[in-house]
Amino acid sequence: MPMEQQFTIAVNQLGYRSKDAKMAMITGESAGFRLVDHETGKVVWEGQTRPAAEDAASGITVSRGDFSAWEQPGTYRIEAGDGQSSYPFVISEAVYEAAHQALLKAFYYFRCGMDLEEKHAGPWKHAACHLAPALVYGEEARTIDAWGGWHDAGDYGKYVVPGAKAVADLLLAYECYPQAFQRAVPVPETDGATPDVLHECRYELEWMLRMQDEESGGVFHKLTTLRFPGPDVMPEDDTAELYITPISATATGCFAAVMAMAARVYAPYDSAFAASCLQAAERAWTWLERHPEYPGFRNPPEIFTGEYGDEQDMDERYWAAAELYRTTGESRYHEAFGQYARQDSFDKYELGWADMGGYGTISYLMSAREQEPELAARLQAGLQQRAAELADVSLQDGFGISLRPEQYIWGSNMLVMNHAMLLLIADRLSGSKAYERWALEHVHYLFGANVMGMSYVTGLGSRPILHPHHRPSEGDGVEAPVPGLVSGGPNYGKQDDYAREHLADRAPAASFADVMESYATNEVTIYWNSPAVFVLSHFV
């Protein structure tokens, strides 16, 4: 099936806040452009695009039309000199509220082990799934009742490491922007007292607690079937045997970190739950101390579901020490953090599931606990340097984002949102707004200001993703996909058959296909949604 052509005029299809910088990306050489009232057809503002430039990532010439000066609320479109027009968009002070709600509500749709009732799920309802106890792989006589939690992605696996990243992003969003979560997202547990985001995270945290080995304190890596089900199989129809894979150091380190974080965040709302999280974190830390060197996780030979393998566990240990110190104030965790911080074997500013070092750095720098001045200064300087590098790449990029051509990898939209998140946190810790503008350009990109001219989020924008690699969206018989899901986005690696066949000649940023078959470009996951929730929390 041939792919559609890319955009002519790309805008954020949701819109722009009145005082924000506003750019339209226009294919081709410099020319005049017009801002048109979409209701009346009246031209309200005119301007000239900036000099056109070749954009390495997208492989095209891009001009940028700046209409930041226009602040009047309304619904508009951009027209170019050749008569081409953008999708309509609004200028308003409430551009991102509905998107923020949808991105968070998506986690409810990822829930495993319970009925998603029509009252809360609408047409995307389905029955409870994956309730059978799971066999512990290699211990065939042992089962664990590890129901609940979130499906990880377009499949029905549940994985501790990426789950910890997703929860961390959401809890950080709540810590930084509690006012963003004052409106409830309708889910069964909403009680009016506990913020909606904490209800949602708790559903995943309680599953993670079931994944801790009662005897050793180590944490099992994942829970899946032996193989993925077919592409249109609904969750309740995926009835193959469930398996829990062996303990891993990366899962145990992430678990210790996120449970220590949860103990701090939930303490004002449920002290008993907070205490159980801290106890679990400390038991996991003890396991880490007893296993200072542990082999990286690999799938057992019979299991062919997502591996999330990672040979490097120093970043997870670093993050765990930071969170345990921030929550407890105990010197032993501070000392351990310092020891890990002085190692050069891992990146201390990344926020991906395989590179958790950034969470440790952020936790330490945000903590009110006593800090080692030289260490804190070095970490702060490194964070600001990384943010400056991202801003510099954004300045050179035709669409204003911080991805170099080689960074359009599997899940590139996670990098887009991770980078925006890092830019905002760098601002927060420096007390400035130096990088807010660039973070917002990443938001514009996600919602349509990109070479594909698409909103990479289901249900949002004039031209959203319609066919994500997401089994419930494929199998539920509903025409529209589950809303609020962030697509993985362009992937120059093209690791699926569809992408290899249909996207062979595409530039990195254009290597995308809105089809179910292209899991390498169009899958969805909880940890692509979570940094997007964080970033939009800043702008609501």
Catalytic residue among 155, 323, 350, 517: 155
Nearest-angstrom CA–CA distance, 57 and 203: 39
CA angle 235, 241, 242 (to 5 degrees): 75
Contact 440, 447 (CB under 8 A): no
Catalytic residue among 79, 441, 514, 517: 514
514 is catalytic: yes
Nearest-angstrom CA–CA distance, 369 and 499: 49
Q: Which two tokens stand for residue 285?
A: 């830390």
469 is catalytic: yes
Q: Which of 118, 112, 336 is nearest to 236 (CA)?
A: 112
Cα 172 to chain centroid distance, Å, stands at 12
Catalytic residue among 469, 470, 502, 538: 469
Nearest-angstrom CA–CA distance, 365 and 91: 36
Residue 522: count of CB within 10 angstroms of its CB: 28
Report long-range pairs for 121-125 (Cβ below 8 Å, ≥24 apart): 123/476, 123/478, 123/480, 124/472, 124/473, 124/476, 124/478, 124/482, 124/483
Q: Which of 369, 378, 388 is nearest to 327 (CA)?
A: 369
Which residues are CB-contacts of 301 (< 8 A; sequence separation ≥ 6)?
none
Cα 123 to chain centroid distance, Å, stands at 25
270 is catalytic: no
523 is catalytic: yes
Nearest-angstrom CA–CA distance, 296 and 319: 17
Contact 520, 468 (CB under 8 A): no
Nearest-angstrom CA–CA distance, 355 and 360: 10
Cα 164 to chain centroid distance, Å, stands at 12
Q: Give SS3 for 112.
A: coil
Positions marked catalytic: 155, 469, 514, 523
